[in-house]
Amino acid sequence: MLGPRLNAAGRLAEMTIGIQCLASVTTGCALAFAQKLHHINAERKNMQQQMTDTAKALVADLPTNSAAALCRAEWHEGIVGLVASEMKRELNAPVVCFAPSAGDPNILKGSMRSTETVHAKHLLAKIAAHHKDLILGFGGHAMAAGLSIRAESLDRFSHLFTELANQELRQNGRDMIWHDGPIEGRCCSREWLMSLLEINNVWGNGFEYPLFWAKLQPNGIRELGGGKHLKLDCAIDGQTVSAVAFNVDHKLPVLRDSLACFEALVRPDLNYWNGRCELQLVVEHARHCEEHKQQMSA
């Protein structure tokens, strides 16, 4: 897949590498540039994982629905937007991630991601209006924004940002998680998902990828990625289906209760592996079933 690799070049290196790849007139030349893009993207993924792990450690003591402004000297300004997106999902609250500018380490470049109930650009505009020397420049829209501040202003900005963002969260409410209803066992097939994707194959903001509610009973669990992720063989209405859960300890700790029934919001996906294609459910949110809670309290 070329898209993420082109994107990585713009974040970490020169976008001209991607342009040269697309404009190549020979297969050999295109493959050479594609290989460079592949290596850049591998570097991007490694950096993003390290930065995200650090960010999650920084907010470990924060309650859910609390805004955060995060910064580390070793972070890369081209990756902070990706990390902010992950942390916004983690906290269900506005998040800004900063990194030193490549041109001037005394300037911090920030990327903000927000919730539906807090307008990103408007929030920064309120801060800028009342503290005119604080934000050097900013721009964006409802869900995302970019900004720059002086490194010496980080603590001051962090205090004002989190205070105002949390105030708006209390006033406007948290984001609701909308889903498309329960998924039935008879629908858990590759053919069903492929027909769904063929009918509606463009997803994005305002036209979200399908998310379904499911009651899952694991029959088997194995660890992936050194224990960070889980592969589950589950039953829905007696129908066996494969599921995968990423970053379990941070996002889905209930899945550590071996073979316990749980309710989940799942995203159907096609998994291509070793020349095979199969349906799998990606677990986005999970909680114990009511009967499991009753057993625990008995």
Quote the DSSP letter at residue 204: B
At 159, is the pLDDT very low, low, confident or very high (cuts 50, 70, 90)? very high
- Please check whether residue 22 lies inside any domain of the structure: yes
- Whether 12 has a pLDDT exceeding 50, the answer reads yes
- Whether 104 has a pLDDT exceeding 70, the answer reads yes
pLDDT for the residue numbered 254: 66
- Residues 81 and 124 occupy one common structural domain: yes
Give the N- to C-terminal CA distance of the chain in Å, as an integer.
51
- Residues 20 and 65 occupy one common structural domain: no
pLDDT for the residue numbered 298: 42
**CATH code for the domain of 104:** 3.10.310.30
- Asked whether the whole model's pTM tops 0.85, one would answer no
- Whether 48 has a pLDDT exceeding 50, the answer reads yes
- Please check whether residue 286 lies inside any domain of the structure: yes
**CATH code for the domain of 254:** 2.40.50.460
- Whether 139 has a pLDDT exceeding 80, the answer reads yes
- Residues 68 and 132 occupy one common structural domain: yes
- Residues 191 and 286 occupy one common structural domain: yes
Q: Note down the domain range covering 12.
A: 1-46
Residue 199, classed as helix, strand or coil, is helix
The answer to whether the beta carbons of residues 91 and 66 sit under 8 Å apart is yes
For the CA atoms of 39, 42, 43, 48, the dihedral, rounded to the nearest 10 degrees, stands at: 160
Last residue of a domain, one of 149, 172, 195: 172
- Residues 69 and 37 occupy one common structural domain: no
- Residues 63 and 168 occupy one common structural domain: yes
- Give burial (CB, 10 Å; 0-12/13-18/19+) of 74: exposed
- Please check whether residue 54 lies inside any domain of the structure: no
At 296, is the pLDDT very low, low, confident or very high (cuts 50, 70, 90)? very low
At 280, is the pLDDT very low, low, confident or very high (cuts 50, 70, 90)? confident
Q: Is 225 left (phi over 0), alpha (psi -120 to 50) or beta?
A: left
- Please check whether residue 161 lies inside any domain of the structure: yes
Q: Comparing 22 with 252, which gets the higher pLDDT?
A: 22
Number of folded domains that form the chain: 3
Last residue of a domain, one of 133, 148, 172: 172
At 129, is the pLDDT very low, low, confident or very high (cuts 50, 70, 90)? very high
Q: What is the pLDDT of residues 198-254, one digit of tens each?
A: 665 666 666 778 889 988 888 888 888 787 788 888 888 777 888 888 877 655 666
pLDDT (mean) for 184-200: 71
Q: Comparing 60 with 248, which gets the higher pLDDT?
A: 60
- Please check whether residue 163 lies inside any domain of the structure: yes
* Short-list 43, 17, 12, 10, CA closest to 32: 17
Task: Determine phi and psi for 135, rounding to 5 degrees.
Answer: -95, 125
Last residue of a domain, one of 127, 146, 172: 172
Other residues' Cβ atoms within 10 Å of the Cβ of residue 187? 18
- Please check whether residue 51 lies inside any domain of the structure: no
- Please check whether residue 111 lies inside any domain of the structure: yes
The greatest distance separating any two alpha carbons of the chain, rounded to the nearest whole angstrom, comes to 70
- Residues 82 and 134 occupy one common structural domain: yes
pLDDT for the residue numbered 142: 93
CA distances from 147 to 40, 59, 81 (A): 25, 21, 11
- Residues 34 and 107 occupy one common structural domain: no
- Please check whether residue 52 lies inside any domain of the structure: no
Q: What percentage of the chain reaches a pLDDT higher than 70?
A: 89
Alpha-carbon gap, residue 7 to 24, rounded angstroms: 18
- Residues 164 and 69 occupy one common structural domain: yes
Most confident of 23-32, 80-89, 256-265: 80-89
Mean pLDDT across the chain: 84
